[in-house]
Structure 1
Amino acid sequence: MLFPAVPAGGVGMLKALAGPFPELSFCPTGGITQQSAPEFLALSCVPCVGGSWLTPQELVHAQDWTAIRSIAAAAAALRRAA
């Protein structure tokens, strides 16, 4: 895991680390958004990302599991697109 990924240097830092440490994989979290996730997932050293956009607080409080399931399905599709 790499937290907080974006404040720590984001995609640029992960690219820099991948060179000397090709055996490492990272799950970046912290500052990742649905819009920025594909850029992270395009890196060979990033098999997954974490993001709070997956479970918006208002949907959790409302127990709107259908909406959260829809967000999760869109997030799963990001990996296939990257």
Structure 2
Amino acid sequence: MLRVGDRVVFAGGAHTVVAISGTVIRLLSAAGQTTVVALGYLLAAEDFELVGARGAEGGPAGVAGDAAGEGGAGGADVGTAPD
């Protein structure tokens, strides 16, 4: 599960997941540059690697809500209808 706060390698650099909206992921590089990418594109990238997960949950790669299990700034569960 991909969550806000996770660290990933993508496009040759390390990034932190800073926002999730449906299947759109916003990444922040160590240099402060933001990148917006579709979840499928991110997961299919040859160099994609989850290097620092915020949570200890297992399961298939995908998008999870925030720690409280809600959408909002922490993201939204894929397939969940908006409120």
More helix by share: 1
Largest Rg, 1 or 2: 1
If the length of structure 2 is used for normalisation, what is the TM-score?
A: 0.27
More strand by share: 2
If the length of structure 1 is used for normalisation, what is the TM-score?
A: 0.27
Higher relative contact order (CA 8 A, sep 6+): 2
